[in-house]
Amino acid sequence: MTREQLPGRRSARSHRAVLESALALVREQGYAAVTIDGIASRAGVSKATIYRWWNHKSAILVEAFLTSVHPQIMFPDSGSAREDLVAQATSLARVLSDPVLGSLFVSLLGEARYDPDLATALRDGWQTPRRAAGVEVIERAMARNELPADTDPELVLDGVYGPLYLRLLFGHAPLDEPSLRQIVAQVFDGTGVGRG
């Protein structure tokens, strides 16, 4: 998705200006108000130049999102799966709680339902690396018997990330560290009693 230095010469500055302008417009006016004309005029770039490098508005925004988000994510290895998952979830929650980036992300998810390219970009640039890091944490935990050998890592990850995204979508509960710790705890320990 990054282009940086392709054959066409003068990109670089324009490329950066487009991504920044797009994000700024999302921030100031919201997703729906972002237009190619608006990005072009704000970035001091011609529309033709934009269409040379991106097919759709969402292609610009997904790149802007991923670029802006990329440095903020952490994949620790503390020796405790609980701690690692809390740390990952916290770092994720920091991004998604940002009013601009969080809303942008949900909008992109919505569009991705009808735009396979966008879906691919989001999967490759966002979901896959995070799931992989999560699976690794859990497999390490299984290896050291912190978790049973028959644990389904995907199910555990859904148990941790599911509530997180749910709260992003509906905003009915906080996404601070204690809450995330509670969520992780419930996944590991269950609600207690139960039928067995």
Partner DNA sequence: CCTTAAACGAGACGGTACGTCGCGTCTTCCT
Partner DNA sequence: AGGAAGACGCGACGTACCGTCTCGTTTAAGG
Instruction: Report what 91 binds from DNA, its own copies, none; CB cut-off 5-8 Å by kind.
Output: none
Q: Is 133 in the site for DNA (CB under 7 A)?
A: no
How far is Cα 99 from Cα 121, in angstroms, rounded to an integer?
22
Instruction: Report what 123 binds from its own copies, DNA, none; CB cut-off 5-8 Å by kind.
Output: its own copies
Sign of CA dihedral 94, 180, 107, 64: positive
CB atoms within 10 A of CB 44: 11
Question: Which of 20, 27, 36, 151 touches DNA by CB under 7 A?
Answer: 36
Tokens coding 169: 């979508």
Q: Is 7 in the site for DNA (CB under 7 A)?
A: yes
Label residue 147 left, alpha or beta by phi (over 0 means left) and psi (-120 to 50 means alpha): beta
Q: Is 103 in the site for its own copies (CB under 8 A)?
A: yes
Site string for its own copies, 123-162 (x = CB under 8 A): x---x---x-------------xxxx--xx-xxx-xx-xx
Helices (H) and strands (E) in the chain, counts: 10, 0
Q: Is 191 in the site for its own copies (CB under 8 A)?
A: yes
Sign of CA dihedral 107, 113, 117, 123: positive
Nearer to its own copies by Cβ, of 10 and 113: the residue is: 113
Q: Is 196 in the site for its own copies (CB under 8 A)?
A: yes
Q: Is 170 in the site for its own copies (CB under 8 A)?
A: yes
Instruction: Report what 158 binds from its own copies, DNA, none; CB cut-off 5-8 Å by kind.
Output: its own copies
How far is Cα 49 from Cα 45, in angstroms, rounded to an integer?
7
The span from the first CA to the last CA of the chain, in angstroms, equals: 48
Q: Which residues bind DNA (CB under 7 A)?
A: 7-11, 14, 33, 35-38, 41, 44-49, 51-53, 56-57
